[in-house]
Each structure stands twice: as C-alpha cells, then as structure tokens.
Amino acid sequence: MKAGIVGLPNVGKSTLFNCLSNAKAQSANFPFCTIEPNLGVVNVPDPRLEKLEELVNPQRVIPATVEIVDIAGLVRGASKGEGLGNQFLGNIRECNAIMHVLRCFDNDNIVHVDGSVDPIRDKETIDIELQLKDLETVEKRLEKVKRAAKTGNKEAQKEQATLEKFKSALEQGVSARAVEVTEDEEELMKGFQLLTAKPILYVCNVDEASAKSGNAYVDKVREAVKDEDAEIIVLAVGTEADIAELEDYEERQMFLEDIGLEEPGVSRLIRAAYKLLNLQTYFTAGEKEVRAWTIKIGSTAPQAAGVIHTDFEKGFIRAEVIKYDDYVQYGTENKVKEAGKLSVEGKGYIVNDGDVMHFLFNV
C-alpha cells in the first residue's frame, strides 16, 4: 500500500519526502528535479509500541511501515503528455492514496511555476489534469461497454449507467471521490482505477510562524475542500527539514517547543497517511520481539495471521487476544490471564486496532 506525494513543481514535495524517509531525494529550486519517483519505506510513529517495549523488554522492536512515493511535479497539460505528464500520471495510478502538497507560504527566493502564490489555483491545476485523464479513461471504457449494453447485457447496462454518472461529474469539474454512489456503483468504480477516486490528504506547506495555527492561505484551502471527503494537515516543511537534521532528541524537542508543537509534523503526517490507506495495527509481544503488524481495517483474525505467514492463515485454529489497554493496566500476559481479560477468538473475529495477538495454527 503506497501513498504518493503530488503537487506542482517547487511546492516542497521532495523536501517533505526527505523529512519522511531516510532516502534522500534530490531537492533543488527548479521544476522536474524529481524525474523518477522516489520510494521510501517510513516507520509509523506509535507510542503504544514504546509502551509494550517497556513492559516486555524484548530483544528487538519492529514498527509498522508505510510506503511513500515522491512523484515529480505535474504541470498544465500533463493529461496530454506535457512535462512528462503520462509518466507522472502513471506513477499516481500505482499509488493507493494521494498526499497533495500545496504551497501556502510567501518566499521571493523560491520560484513559483505560475509566478505567484495561490494554493487554490494550484489545487485546481492538478485537479483538472487528473479529471481530464479520468474523463479519457471513462470515455474509452464507455465505448466498449455500450456495445455490450445494446445486446441486453444487464451487467453492461449497470456499468454504462455508472460510467455516465462519472462522465457527467468529471465534465463539470467534480472529482470522482465527491460523487455520491451506491455500494454497487462503488464496487464498479474500483475497476475503473480513477485517479480522482483515490483518497486524498491536503498538505498545506506553510512558513515557520504558521506551523501551529496555519494562515490565510490555509483558511482558503479549508474553504475550497469543505465538500470533499478529504483531510487537511498544516506543515512547515522547511522547518521540519531543519528539525530532522538535528541529531540530539532534546535539541529537537526544544526546537518544537519554540514553534509551539508537541511533536514533529511529519509524525502526524505519517499517521494520517496510514489512516488514509485504510490501515491499522495489531501487535505481537514476546521476549524475542515486540512487533507492529499492518493490516487493512476490517481484517479477520485469519487474515491478520496471514500477514505473518501464509501458513498461519491456511492452518488457523484460533487467536488469543489481549486489548492494548488491558495489557498496559495489568503489565504482563500472565496477569492479564489471571484477571480473565484474555479472549479466545475464532475465524470470524474482526481485529481491532491495537489488539495484542497470539495465533494457534496447524499445518
């Protein structure tokens, strides 16, 4: 599961990627600095993992991770191949969610591709390119489906009606994620692989003084996206880069306190990306290791076991489950058992975020 960072050139995408990842993308004051997409595997900050480490004292601790892709800046005409547009749009298609970086700061030393700072115009530029590409996808598919629908094929007729619904919305400049759909239509939509149907998080890149409360540019973005199913996060990307370079933890905390923050903004962003991808965490805790495992929200116990090893899912017998809060309250697995707080769950159990689990299986 990958989240892609998109935006116009020079809005801070590669600097943000560098903050998020140990992989250092080239960052420079000119467009198309990033040609090939950079991929970073980023640890998900989770204080629960630190608490379990403290209680269990394992040999090693392994956090959950999320993949972040730094995609080169889009420009007007990308849907028609301008500025390597086809390649960039293809990179977005391969991602499961989008983090759209919007420039919300003034700085005469950093060139804006359109000559002035206007996050709403920038957002619309990207939206239009993605919508045009989606419209092209929908129209091509409609051509094929219409022929089958004319023969009386009921499934084809359903698909045609759904495609026409999206075609109408896209022609009016409405992204697919903002279209109201039934469960059947939503299922069909997954097969269309529309770029504007992907879940989205808007990252407002601000100056240091606006890191805590945002600014007038951020207010405009909030107003512009209020009808979208989207989250906004405010981040001073340049400041985050400075914080990331500090080796000493106490120095980083002092820096954060000076600008009124309790934790780095990138930590909030990583957790938001994790949520955006519809992911959650369960834990295994033993002397050898305490580990956070990533699963999709709504996963059953056998599916969660399968993340560790496919044999665990095939031969699943049952799962022993301790709620995270109970583990913290009682301190050890044995004390949890003595208190009657360990539950034994079967194949139908839906795993909750933060469950501490042990699987029994037979192969």
| 185 CA to centre of own chain | 23
pTM above 0.75, yes or no: yes
Whole-angstrom distance, CA of residue 214 vs CA of residue 182: 36
Q: Is 42 annotated for ligand binding?
A: no
Whole-angstrom distance, CA of residue 169 vs CA of residue 175: 7
Which ranges in 28-118 belong to alpha helices (H)? 47-56, 85-93
For residue 146, the tally of other CB atoms under 10 A from its CB is 15
Count of residues in the chain: 363
In eight-state DSSP terms, residue 243 is H
User: Do 15 and 238 touch, CB atoms closer than 8 A?
Assistant: yes
**Higher per-residue confidence, 345 vs 69:** 345
Q: Which long-range contacts (CB under 8 A, 24 or more apart) does 223-229 make?
A: 224/120, 224/123, 225/123, 227/178, 228/175, 228/177, 228/178, 228/200, 229/177, 229/178, 229/199
Q: Is 14 annotated for ligand binding?
A: yes
The fourth-level CATH superfamily of domain 2-52+61-113+199-276 is P-loop containing nucleotide triphosphate hydrolases (3.40.50.300)
For residue 180, the tally of other CB atoms under 10 A from its CB is 7
Which ranges in the chain belong to alpha helices (H)? 13-20, 47-56, 85-93, 119-150, 154-171, 183-192, 216-224, 237-245, 249-258, 265-276, 301-308, 310-314, 324-330, 333-338
Tell me which residue of 200, 181, 69, 75 sits closest to 132, measured CA to CA.
Answer: 75
Amino acid at 206: V
Whole-angstrom distance, CA of residue 64 vs CA of residue 1: 12
pLDDT per residue over 129-174, tens digit each?
899 989 999 999 999 999 889 888 899 999 999 999 999 999 999 9
pLDDT at residue number 77: 64
The Cα-based distances of 124 to 34, 129, 135, 233 in angstroms read 22, 9, 16, 18
Q: Is 13 annotated for ligand binding?
A: yes
Q: Is 151 annotated for ligand binding?
A: no
Question: At the topology level of CATH, where does 298-361 sit?
Answer: Ubiquitin-like (UB roll) (3.10.20)
Which three-class secondary structure state does DSSP give residue 235? strand
pLDDT at residue number 109: 83
Whole-angstrom distance, CA of residue 37 vs CA of residue 240: 21
Residue where the block lists tokens 């979208």: 228
pLDDT at residue number 334: 95
Whole-angstrom distance, CA of residue 4 vs CA of residue 17: 10
**Higher per-residue confidence, 196 vs 37:** 196
Indicate the domain borders of the chain.
Answer: 2-52+61-113+199-276, 128-196, 298-361
b/e sequence 319-335, b meaning 16+ C-beta within 10 Å: bbbbbbebbbebeebee
Amino acid at 154: K
Whole-angstrom distance, CA of residue 148 vs CA of residue 341: 57
pLDDT per residue over 200-227, tens digit each?
999 999 999 999 889 999 999 999 998 8
CATH architecture of 128-196: Orthogonal Bundle (1.10)
pLDDT per residue over 263-285, tens digit each?
888 888 888 889 899 999 999 99
pLDDT at 362 over 70: yes
User: Do 7 and 122 touch, CB atoms closer than 8 A?
Assistant: yes
Please write down the HEC assignment for all residues of 4-23: EEECCCCCCHHHHHHHHCCC
